[in-house]
Structure 1
Amino acid sequence: MDLQNEIEARQKVLEKLTSEIRSFEEYDRQLADNAEKLSMI
């Protein structure tokens, strides 16, 4: 595998991880919102 392919492969992995992190952050925000709503009841 040449260097260009290696770089592209790593960028794809990085993009996937970044996307997963965003999903987890959104999930965490929703959990916090739900906890806040529950505390108002």
Structure 2
Amino acid sequence: VVITKCNHLFCSLCIQRNLEIRHRKCPGCGTAFGQNDVRTIHI
């Protein structure tokens, strides 16, 4: 699980795919983010 800079939680694989295809907007709210704005959360 990862958290974006806008504090939304997503599957890490889903966000990694977005980063790879350069679709770097939060799927939840549309806020732009980069690789350094995503943090892994261990549950």
Instruction: With the length of structure 1 as denominator, give the TM-score of the two structures.
Output: 0.30
Instruction: With the length of structure 2 as denominator, give the TM-score of the two structures.
Output: 0.29
Q: Which has the higher strand share?
A: 2
Larger radius of gyration: 1
Give the number of the structure with larger relative contact order, counting CA–CA contacts within 8 Å between residues 6 or more apart: 2
Q: Which has the higher helix share?
A: 1
